[in-house]
Structures are given as structure tokens and as C-alpha cells.
């Protein structure tokens, strides 16, 4: 049976493996791993060319999971994602031809380029891990994870994700530009071929399922649970926000804090775990009021956290 020390070791191995491809982004890689181990979906939002797609591919290769990439475009149809039923004349009945969503890890690349109807085809699979085609429900293979990317500066030909879909992402991550030394190392590593081509798996999908099950045993005290709920409640009451975080946000914060503790080798959550993940977990679920739109979400959350008493564990 897997233990927390083994989870800590597995996490370090996966992070080291992904860092062969993604240089100088250890914290962002760790955030990605937190979502993966909690069974949550991930949204990467940033400018083009900073490695969003490559990070998704590197994580998939490290976990040994089946991987499908869907390039979202305005002409993409829901059936292009979920699959279709086709009549087979030889057996005189319809057969289901699965779409790319039938995979362990699905990369929805530039998700905001597709129409709302196509975007909504992911809602069922993200929440219930199943797809329904022609009235027949098909269960998805476990583990199942959606990693979506969108460019933050392109607006022409895009359709903003609805709040219902944004809320289904456990975590939202911005990679940002690499530092000078990291970018120099990046040039050197890709001089002859891309390092993603030589990336080997670190764990198996079965082992990933074990990890996802074990992290549920991390102890979360009553004080920590109250702290999580207090933070989420504060976003709903705060005068800076038009829309606060949903109960799904509380659940994501709860689950990802358990994983954060586990990859640190602990079997219990502390307040610092919550503080380190609260912005990636909640910021995309919140709508700031017009007068606060130009203020960084980080500063708003720092002010909000200062208003809440930190529990003693």
C-alpha cells in the first residue's frame, strides 16, 4: 500500500522529469501536479509560446497516460469531441465511434476559439466523467483529466468561457515568461531536438489512481475546514467582488490542500498549505467589480486573507 513518503518521492520524480522540458517553472509544475493528484481539471491561460501545450504533454508522458489533443476552432463540432453513432450495415445497428475525449488526459488547446455549443460538450465529461451520445451514456476511462489552454491577449475569433465551465477547472495557472538563464538553457536543450521526444514515464496510470485515492486520507482538522469555508464565504461577502466563489471552489481548495500536504510528506493540512494554493484555486471563479478590475487578484486576496483569523493546528 502506498504511503505519504512514497507520494512525496513520486512527486519529486515527476517534477524533475517535467523540468527536462519546462525550464524554470518548478512552482507552476507543482501546481499542475496538485490538480492531477486531486483528480481536478486544469486551465492554462497565458500569452502564446510560453509552453502551455508542452507542459500538458510532458505531464501526460511522465504519468504514462493515454493522451489526446483537440485543437479547438470555430468550426469544431461537439461530435468531433465526444464521438458519433454510425450505422453499420453488416450488423444492422448503430455503433459508437468514440471521439478524442475517450482518453486519460485530454488537451483542449485554445479552448476559447470554439463556439459555446462546442465548449459545452466538455461540461458533462468534466463533472461526471461520462459522455452521452444519442441518449446512450459512455463512461470515461479512469484516470481522466482535462487540460485546457487559452491565450489571454487574443480576442478576435474567440468565445469567452462561461462561468459554469470556468468553475469546473480545479485550478488556473499562468506560466509567464522564463527568466534569462532559463531561456538560454531552453535554447541549448532544443538545439538539435525537442527534449519531449525523449521523455520517459515515471509512474503508471494505476499508480496514479493509487495516489489519487491515498491523498483522500490526509487529515483536515475542523479548524482548517472552517478556515477554507471562511475564505470562500469572504469572497461572496466582499465588496470588491460581483461574484464570489462557489461551493465547488471550497471542494477544490479542500482536495488540493490535501494533495499539497501529501507531496510534502505530511498526513495533515496546515494553514500555510491553504494560503499557497488559494489564488490558483479560487481567482478564476471570482468576478471583481469594475473599479477593482485593474488591481491584481493577488493583492486583493492578500488583503482578504489578512481579514480572516488563521487557525491554530
Give the residue, 99 or 94, on which the prediction is more confident: 99
In this structure, the answer to whether residues 172 and 272 fall within a common structural domain is no
Give the pLDDT confidence score for residue 14 in this predicted structure: 95
Give the pLDDT confidence score for residue 289 in this predicted structure: 81
| Residue 109, C-alpha cell as written in the block | 488547446
pLDDT at 179 over 80: yes
Contact (CB, 8 A) for 33 and 11: yes
What's the pLDDT band for 154 if we cut at 50, 70, 90? low
As for how many domains the chain has, the answer is 2
- Average pLDDT for 98-102: 92
Q: Decide if 158 is inside a domain.
A: yes
- Average pLDDT for 278-293: 85
What's the pLDDT band for 155 if we cut at 50, 70, 90? low
Among the residue ranges 23-37, 228-242, 295-309, the one predicted with the least confidence is 295-309
Domain that holds residue 265: 218-306
Q: Percentage of the chain with pLDDT > 70?
A: 97
**The domain spanning residue 240 has which CATH number?**
1.10.8.80
- Average pLDDT for 231-248: 89
In this structure, the answer to whether residues 193 and 232 fall within a common structural domain is no
Give the residue, 303 or 36, on which the prediction is more confident: 36
Domain boundary pick from 205, 233, 251: 205
Give the pLDDT confidence score for residue 288 in this predicted structure: 83
Give the pLDDT confidence score for residue 301 in this predicted structure: 85
In this structure, the answer to whether residues 147 and 274 fall within a common structural domain is no
In this structure, the answer to whether residues 130 and 262 fall within a common structural domain is no
Maximum average pLDDT range among 125-129, 158-162, 286-290 = 125-129
pLDDT at 153 over 70: no
Q: Decide if 120 is inside a domain.
A: yes
Give the pLDDT confidence score for residue 94 in this predicted structure: 83
**The domain spanning residue 63 has which CATH number?**
3.40.50.300
Q: How far is CA 248 from CA 27, 115, 228, 245, in A?
A: 24, 25, 12, 8
Give me the chain's average pLDDT, please: 91
Q: Decide if 82 is inside a domain.
A: no
Q: Decide if 81 is inside a domain.
A: no
Query: What is the C-alpha end-to-end distance of the chain, expressed in Å?
Result: 28
The DSSP string of 152-193 is SS--TT--PPPHHHHTTEEEEE---PPPHHHHHHHHHHTSSS
Amino acid at each position: 500500500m502506498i504511503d505519504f513518503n512514497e507520494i512525496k518521492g513520486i512527486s519529486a520524480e515527476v517534477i524533475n522529469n517535467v523540468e527536462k522540458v519546462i525550464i524554470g517553472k518548478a512552482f507552476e509544475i507543482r501546481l499542475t501536479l496538485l490538480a492531477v493528484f486531486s483528480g481536478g481539471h486544469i486551465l492554462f491561460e497565458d500569452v502564446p509560446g510560453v509552453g502551455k501545450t508542452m507542459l500538458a504533454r510532458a505531464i501526460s508522458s511522465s504519468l504514462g497516460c493515454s493522451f489526446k489533443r483537440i485543437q479547438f476552432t470555430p468550426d469544431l463540432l461537439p461530435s468531433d469531441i465526444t464521438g458519433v453513432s454510425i450505422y453499420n450495415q453488416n450488423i444492422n445497428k448503430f455503433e459508437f465511434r468514440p471521439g478524442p475525449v475517450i482518453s486519460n488526459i485530454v488537451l483542449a488547446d485554445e479552448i476559447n476559439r470554439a463556439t459555446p455549443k462546442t465548449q459545452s460538450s466538455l461540461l458533462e465529461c468534466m463533472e461526471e466523467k461520462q459522455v452521452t451520445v444519442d441518449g446512450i451514456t459512455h463512461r470515461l476511462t479512469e484516470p481522466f483529466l482535462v487540460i485546457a489552454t487559452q491565450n489571454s491577449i487574443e480576442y478576435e475569433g474567440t468565445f469567452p468561457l462561461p462561468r459554469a465551465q470556468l468553475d469546473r477547472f480545479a485550478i488556473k495557472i499562468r506560466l509567464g515568461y522564463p527568466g534569462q538563464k532559463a531561456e538560454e538553457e531552453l535554447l541549448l536543450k532544443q538545439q538539435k531536438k525537442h527534449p519531449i521526444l525523449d521523455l520517459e514515464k515515471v509512474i503508471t496510470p494505476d499508480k496514479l489512481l493509487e495516489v489519487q485515492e491515498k491523498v483522500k486520507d490526509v487529515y483536515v482538522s475542523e479548524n482548517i475546514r472552517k478556515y477554507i469555508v471562511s475564505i470562500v464565504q469572504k469572497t461572496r461577502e466582499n465588496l470588491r467582488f460581483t461574484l464570489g466563489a462557489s461551493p465547488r471552489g471550497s471542494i477544490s481548495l479542500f482536495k488540493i490542500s490535501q494533495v499539497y500536504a501529501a507531496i510534502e510528506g505530511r498526513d495533515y493540512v496546515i494553514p500555510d498549505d491553504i494560503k499557497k494554493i488559494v489564488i490558483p484555486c479560487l481567482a478564476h471563479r471570482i468576478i471583481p467589480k469594475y473599479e477593482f478590475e485593474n488591481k491584481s487578484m493577488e493583492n486583493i486576496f492578500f488583503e482578504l486573507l489578512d481579514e480572516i483569523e488563521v487557525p491554530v493546528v
